[in-house]
Amino acid sequence: MRQLLDEAAAGGYGVGAFNVSNMEQVQAVFEAAHDTESPVIVAVSRASRAYTNDGFLVHLVAAALELYPDIPVALHQDHGNSPDTCFSAIELGFTSVMMDGSLTDDGRTPSDFEYNVAVTRAVVERAHAAGVTVEGELGTIGGIEDGHGSGRSRLTDPDQAVEFVERTGVDALAVAVGTSHGAYKFSRPPAGDVLAMDVVERIHERLPHLHLVLHGSSSVPGELVDRINAFGGEIGPTWGVPIEEIQRGIRHGVRKINVETDARLAATGALRQFFHEQPGEFEPRAYLAAARDAMRVVYTERMRQFGQAGHAREYAPMSLEEMRERYRG
Q: Which residues are identified as catalytic?
A: 78
DSSP string, 172-207: EEEE-SS-BSSS--BSS---TTTS-HHHHHHHHHH-
Give yes or no for a contact between 252 and 200, defined as CB atoms under 8 angstroms apart. Answer: yes
Outline where the chain has alpha helix (H). Answer: 2-11, 23-36, 46-52, 54-67, 83-92, 113-129, 158-168, 197-206, 222-230, 243-250, 261-277, 284-306, 320-328
| Cα 188 to the center of its chain, rounded Å | 24
CA neighbor of 78 nearest in space, from 191, 196, 181: 181
Give yes or no for a contact between 308 and 40, defined as CB atoms under 8 angstroms apart. Answer: yes
As a whole number of angstroms, the distance between CA 286 and CA 71 comes to: 27
